[in-house]
Amino acid sequence: MTLQSPPNPSLLHVPDRNLSSANMKVGRAGWAVRYYSTFTRDAVLGIAEAVARAGHEKAGFYADWAVRETGFGVAEHKKLKNELSALPLLDYYRDLDLVTPRIDAGRKIVDLPKPAGVIFALTPATNPIATLYYKTMLAILSRNAMVISPHPAARECSLDAARHLAAAAEKAGAPAGLIQCIEEPSVPLVQELMRSDKIAVIMATGGTPMVRAAYSSSNPAIGVGPGNAVAYVDPSANVDRAARRIVESKSFDNSVLCTNESIVLTLDCSHGNLERALRTAGGHICNEADTGRLRDYLFPASGFNVAAIGKSACWIAEKAGLRVSPGTKVLVPVIRAPGQDDVLFREKLCPVLPLTSAVDFEQALTFAKQTMRRGAGHSAAFHGEDSARILRFSQELPVYRVVVNAPCSQGAAGFATHLPPSFMIGTGFKGRSSIGENVGPQHLVHWTSIAYNSDASVPFGSFDLSSVTTPAKRPARQAGALPEPQAAAAEIDRDMLRQLILEELRGLNGGRS
């Protein structure tokens, strides 16, 4: 009897189909970006224009789909966010040239733009399409490729939106594979791709664990932290205008933006007027019993009740056992002692806005600083006309954006202020992030500097830069040969097929090879 050698485990391993498919997309994106990185600025702007228009045209369609699929937010508001992430975003960055080399003859320096390469982008369930539009536009403008990993709860609408934008880009001249989306996202798959040496940079938007995983992946990452914005209403404010802006902001898309106000703070002398103004603006002022019921519903022993995320004030009130009028936009629990660490002072991605007051501005600053430790580096709001207090508030709080006399949700994101429009709010050193400003396409390009000797006796060279920005010709293909992306895909498919056949044969032989 002939002894058979034991099977080789590596030959019997069945590859993960979803991971293999995702790796194929990354490989295809690498091919696409090598070609796209040679495009001229006019060609890049033409593709960006086509993608922005395509996104704008279906902003409402995807807003409705996202609300149906996720159950989060308000379709009308999501439509507006989707639109703002298309043509207005392009208009803001239209004059930012990240493509053309720069010559500074006086300093004897030539700067050559170098796109990052393949961007791996995580998008959240709370803002799935707006974030997808935004990150894709940033990649297009910076001559990078984008592989999107949508939140599983927003998988279907995200897949369709990515395909829609990809079709528009390719019709405008972009290489196939420049915009792609993972079909079956999962935590293990995302973690594996984040470690891939074919990924140039990770754009992480989501929960803290996923952002931390991106930073620990060994790849460069741009991650953003959670918000917990304090909105301070000073006695110098027009209280009615401030209340309208706060309620408008907190109720926008049922408060799923991380830039929304988490707490409204004033001084004791203004507390009564602010309560009245918030009630007039659509807020339900909770008595002590209502505040207790709301606290118990939102923060059970297990932590924050995620069922409340992105739901309306009336929906939450019904679940918590509160009686409110049908027109209620925001629930306002009143907490009289700002010094206590109440769970309601934590981030809440729903239209619940606790109101508290301090005896004076000094106590208000102390409370705001303590509260902003959760959400450090993010955003805050100031309503009032006292410039000295605005300056001190901004200097002492551990935040990188202070929105003045504007809704914080839209203002910090650059849609009600002149800050850069963004769905990635950098939280900087205070928030354990690499970037402290609103993330833009400039963060996806680095520059190689050709720097000559500063000695005046050393001559500066003469450079013809036309070849740097002239699109490379497509490589000639022999008859019957596959283009690079398809050829790579076919090779992976054949390898997978071999593995599956070996596994099947092993089963037929009772486990023997």
The tens digit of pLDDT for each residue in 79-137 reads 999 999 999 999 999 999 999 999 999 999 999 999 999 999 999 999 999 999 999 99
**pLDDT greater than 70 at residue 487:** no
Q: What pLDDT is stored for residue 256 in this prediction?
A: 93
Q: What pLDDT is stored for residue 255 in this prediction?
A: 95
- What stretches of 62-178 adopt beta strand conformation (E)? 102-104, 109-115, 118-123, 145-150
Within-domain flag for 154: yes
**pLDDT greater than 90 at residue 35:** yes
Q: Are residues 46 and 94 in the same domain?
A: yes
Q: What pLDDT is stored for residue 17 in this prediction?
A: 87
Q: Are residues 196 and 248 in the same domain?
A: no
Q: Are residues 239 and 180 in the same domain?
A: no
Q: How far apart (Å, rounded) are the C-alpha atoms in residues 120 and 373?
A: 29
The pLDDT of 371-389, averaged and rounded, is: 94
Q: What pLDDT is stored for residue 320 in this prediction?
A: 96
Output the CA torsion 493→498→500→502 (10° steps): 180
CA angle 399, 263, 256 (to 5 degrees): 85
Q: Which of 447, 474, 492 is the last residue of a domain?
A: 447
Q: Are residues 113 and 245 in the same domain?
A: no
- What b/e string do you get for 71-91 counting C-beta neighbours within 10 Å, with b at 16 or more? ebbbbebbbbbbbbbbbebbe
Q: Which amino acid is at 71?
A: G
Q: How far apart (Å, rounded) are the C-alpha atoms in residues 308 and 343?
A: 15
Place 483 in a pLDDT band, splitting at 50, 70 and 90. Answer: very low
First to last CA, the chain: 16
Within-domain flag for 495: no
Q: What pLDDT is stored for residue 5 in this prediction?
A: 57
Domain that holds residue 213: 12-224+439-447
**pLDDT greater than 50 at residue 478:** no
Q: What pLDDT is stored for residue 70 in this prediction?
A: 96
- What b/e string do you get for 167-206 counting C-beta neighbours within 10 Å, with b at 16 or more? ebbbebebbbbbbbbbeebeeebbebbbebeebbbbbbbb
Within-domain flag for 134: yes
The pLDDT of 235-260, averaged and rounded, is: 96
Q: From the CB of residue 272, how many other CB atoms can be counted at a distance below 10 Å?
A: 12
Number of domains the chain is built from:
2
CA angle 166, 168, 171 (to 5 degrees): 105
Q: Are residues 145 and 17 in the same domain?
A: yes
Strand pairing class (261-267; 355-358): parallel
Q: Are residues 241 and 349 in the same domain?
A: yes
- % pLDDT > 70, the chain: 88
As a whole number, the mean pLDDT across the chain is 88
Place 8 in a pLDDT band, splitting at 50, 70 and 90. Answer: low
Q: Are residues 210 and 188 in the same domain?
A: yes
Q: What pLDDT is stored for residue 511 in this prediction?
A: 44
Q: How far apart (Å, rounded) are the C-alpha atoms in residues 419 and 435?
A: 15
Strand pairing class (118-123; 229-233): unpaired
Give how far Cα 99 sits from Cα of 43, 121, 165, 262, Å: 10, 22, 21, 40
Q: What pLDDT is stored for residue 510 in this prediction?
A: 46
Q: Are residues 253 and 217 in the same domain?
A: no
Q: Are residues 143 and 257 in the same domain?
A: no
Q: What pLDDT is stored for residue 471 in this prediction?
A: 60
Q: Are residues 152 and 276 in the same domain?
A: no
The pLDDT of 474-498, averaged and rounded, is: 42
Q: What is the pLDDT of residues 164-173, one digit of tens each?
A: 999 999 999 9
